[in-house]
Chains A and B, each alone.
Chain A
Amino acid sequence: MAERIGKHIAIYGKGGIGKSTTTSNISAALAEAGYRVIQIGCDPKSDSTNTLRGNNYLPTVLDSLREGNKIHLDDISVKGFKGVLCIESGGPVPGVGCAGRGINASVNLLQELNLFEEFKPDFVLYDVLGDVVCGGFAVPIRDGITDRAYVVSSSDFMAIYAANNLFKAINKYAPTGGAKLGGVIANSITAGYSKSIIDDFTSKTGTSVAGYVNRSIVVQQSELYGKTVIEANPTSEQADIYRNLAKHIAENEDLVVPSPLGAGELRDWAREWGDKIYNLESGVVAGAEVI
């Protein structure tokens, strides 16, 4: 393919873990810093860019494709906060068709429309549906579309399980030109052991943490305003957390091919942490020492 214009970054993570919130805040922070940014939501729910564009209506790429009319970039994109170009891939109604194929077709169409040549972005962020359940959802990390991926994860076991699955996909595709991992974005961090769990997981898989995002009521408040934290609460501590994360992602060139845990390893690892947390919560002193 032609030389890539801008840095193309895929952001994955379990459904409901805060991918879209995190991605939108990164986009907003990058735009605030003067970069040209595109955010592409690769999720049939098509709500990735809501907070960047004040919840205004935006036809999805696949809706336009379904109509069968000639498609122009203006029809499927809208400029949001600080000029972030917002695009939603969209998808079929739940339970019908093939959303994975939809992402594939959508990304192809954007390339055919010369999106990147026209907009000349510094950064393109792909906000991709949680688990990499089939080949279609791995499209953004294959075929040289992006060269780096980040995964948003909390310390919840299922979120880490999804992250580990993404590591498997990266591990498979990286040797043939697919994206490498930039790091794990540790989200919804609360006081206590949650940071330790993510740190331990990244060290076991040969990866690193790109940034810690604390659980904060400011995030919820901003979402309810239909805005990113950067826009709604620009002077808050949380806004600075996102700015630092965006800066790290913008500058980080330390990309790795992760070593995902096997099914048995992951289970044993989770069980070990289960015991530690149980001991901690039930007041066993030895439990606290190991954390």
Chain B
Amino acid sequence: MQTCVKSPRNGCALHGVLQTVQAINGVVPIVHSNSGCAIQSYLSNKSSGLDNTYFTGQNVFSTDAQERHIIFGGASRLREQIKNTIKVVNGDLYIVLNSCVSAMVGDDVEAMTRESREQGETIIESLTAGLHGDSHYGYESVVTDIIKKLPLVVNIPEEKNDKLVNIFGILPKEDIYYRGNLAEIKRILEGIGLSVNTFFSYGNGVEEFKNASTAALSISFSRWGNAPAKALEELYGVKNVEFSNVPTGPIEVAEFVRKIAAELGVSSDVVDAFVEKEEKEFDYYYQGVIDDFYNEAGSKSLAIVADESVAIRVGGFLKRYIGADIKTIIVTDRVSKKESSDDSENDVLNTIANEVYYTQDGKEISDILSNNNIELVLGSSLDRNLANGKKRTGLDISFPAYNKAIVNKSYVGIRGALTLLEDYLTVVKEDNHAKELELLEYIGQNVG
């Protein structure tokens, strides 16, 4: 069935691939496409206040294929672009990315990268054309490709590190706070004595992908992390555990670290000491705002519009820790995956909200929010735009987030949970204050 989607928030698979590889230090993308694919990806992310990396925007290498490259094939143009790129920039890993046009024409991209590899270059390809799916699929596909193809260009170490874990499923830029979130998860896991490959946060690089095979465990925090984790398991026997979301709050963090510790044989003394320390830290700050949420936040009706794993962690946290009244959850990343509607994630979502919807259609989302008397929207900037040009009150938790600079904020773990609490209560208090002013203005005009 053909449908028309208004204001879709998810880019194409190439968009997802590009924003993923751009978040890995030392990776140089070479896009084999007609002019515009890479720059559109950049403009989309730029308008959302997301970060630059070295090879973003106009610094992305592209074949800029013209009509003659479509008609006669663009492989030789790609060969030229690969050579030129390697001449002018040093990379730890060059990765050729495919586009709809080259996929439809059937350019032999693999032959070009193979030729370059035979000349000793560290180059692989990811044939994830835009038409294969949305930006979430792009992450899943390219990370899996890197894992599978890296042995073609680097020596993969054979020894195992029983304290090393890999993190998958926190998607660069789709999760707008991915850097801070990855850093917080890393801090937590390091707290029980583990080393962590985050792949996409501060200090990461191709080296982490190389070492991923030596890890004792892969942890996937959303359905999009499962395929790369399984690839590591199949290739190198790295066990993987799947979570539906990133732990947010002391109870969730405690459960999480105990489960990981059990998998890796970490001593319970170490875990208990860490959990106690984290709980104390959380409680200390939490106490400081108790009055705020009793007095100000209790009666607010909320909607959450986000990717599944984000909706679960944000909704779950606000419900558990401040008793938030979550009327509606709208899941926006289940468009290209045709899972059954009765899986465990659905059960979790149904315990958090009264109603759960699955759509990325802007009109449908707007209608759902309007019909359910929602006071606060936790979602993307798109979800807070009203037809009359006004904004709904809310909090940015999803892509895209306009007019926002994001450095290293986190909304997960312990410290991120406190930031989420702080930001949420601030929005609530601002909203209450604005309503008080409206009331006073009304009284001033109509009474006495």
On A, residues with C-beta under 8 Å from B are 62, 65-66, 68, 91-93, 96-99, 101-102, 105
Query: Hey, what's the 0/1 contact readout for B71-85 against A, CB within 8 Å counting as 1?
Result: 111110000000000
- At the interface, yes or no: B68 with Cβ under 8 Å from chain A? yes
Which residue of A62, A65, A68, A97 is within 8 Å of B73 (Cβ)?
A97
Within 8 A of A (CB), among B34-89: 67-75
Q: Is the CB of A98 within 8 A of B104?
A: yes
Q: A97-B69, A97-B74, A101-B67 provided; 12 other pairs, C-beta below 8 A? A: A62-B71, A65-B68, A66-B71, A93-B72, A96-B75, A97-B71, A97-B105, A98-B70, A98-B71, A99-B71, A101-B70, A101-B71
Chain A: CB-nearest residue to B69: A97
On B, residues with C-beta under 8 Å from A are 67-75, 104-105
List chain B residues, Cβ under 8 A from A97.
69-74, 105
CA distance A65 to B70 in the complex (A): 12
A68 CB to nearest chain B CB (Å): 7
List chain A residues, Cβ under 8 A from B74.
97
Chain A: CB-nearest residue to B108: A96
CA distance A98 to B107 in the complex (A): 10
B224 CB to nearest chain A CB (Å): 33
Chain A: CB-nearest residue to B67: A105
List chain B residues, Cβ under 8 A from A96.
72-73, 75
List chain A residues, Cβ under 8 A from B73.
92-93, 96-98
List chain A residues, Cβ under 8 A from B104.
98
A46 CB to nearest chain B CB (Å): 14
Some 9 contacts from A to B, beta carbons below 8 A apart, are A65-B71, A66-B72, A91-B71, A92-B72, A96-B75, A98-B70, A98-B105, A102-B71, A105-B67
CA distance A98 to B74 in the complex (A): 10
Chain B: CB-nearest residue to A136: B71
Q: Which 8 A-B pairs have the closest CB atoms?
A: A97-B73, A96-B73, A102-B71, A97-B72, A92-B72, A98-B105, A101-B70, A101-B71
A98 CB to nearest chain B CB (Å): 5
Most chain B C-beta atoms within 10 Å of own C-beta, residue among A62, A68, A93, A101: A101
CA distance A65 to B69 in the complex (A): 11
Chain B: CB-nearest residue to A134: B104
B220 CB to nearest chain A CB (Å): 39
List chain B residues, Cβ under 8 A from A92.
71-73
CA distance A93 to B108 in the complex (A): 14
List chain B residues, Cβ under 8 A from A91.
71
List chain A residues, Cβ under 8 A from B67.
101, 105
CA distance A93 to B71 in the complex (A): 10
CA distance A101 to B70 in the complex (A): 7
CA distance A92 to B108 in the complex (A): 14
A44 CB to nearest chain B CB (Å): 10
List chain A residues, Cβ under 8 A from B105.
97-98, 101
Chain B: CB-nearest residue to A62: B71
CA distance A65 to B72 in the complex (A): 10
CA distance A289 to B105 in the complex (A): 51
Chain B: CB-nearest residue to A92: B72
CA distance A97 to B69 in the complex (A): 7
CA distance A68 to B69 in the complex (A): 12
Chain A: CB-nearest residue to B75: A96
Most chain B C-beta atoms within 10 Å of own C-beta, residue among A68, A97, A102: A97
List chain A residues, Cβ under 8 A from B75.
96
CA distance A68 to B71 in the complex (A): 13
B107 CB to nearest chain A CB (Å): 8
Chain A: CB-nearest residue to B105: A98
List chain B residues, Cβ under 8 A from A66.
68, 71-72
CA distance A62 to B70 in the complex (A): 12
Chain B: CB-nearest residue to A106: B71
CA distance A65 to B67 in the complex (A): 10
List chain B residues, Cβ under 8 A from A105.
67, 71
CA distance A271 to B73 in the complex (A): 41
List chain B residues, Cβ under 8 A from A101.
67, 70-71, 105
Chain A: CB-nearest residue to B66: A68
B106 CB to nearest chain A CB (Å): 8
CA distance A65 to B73 in the complex (A): 14
List chain B residues, Cβ under 8 A from A102.
71-72
CA distance A13 to B375 in the complex (A): 65
B421 CB to nearest chain A CB (Å): 55
CA distance A248 to B105 in the complex (A): 40
List chain A residues, Cβ under 8 A from B68.
65-66, 68
CA distance A98 to B105 in the complex (A): 6
CA distance A25 to B67 in the complex (A): 34
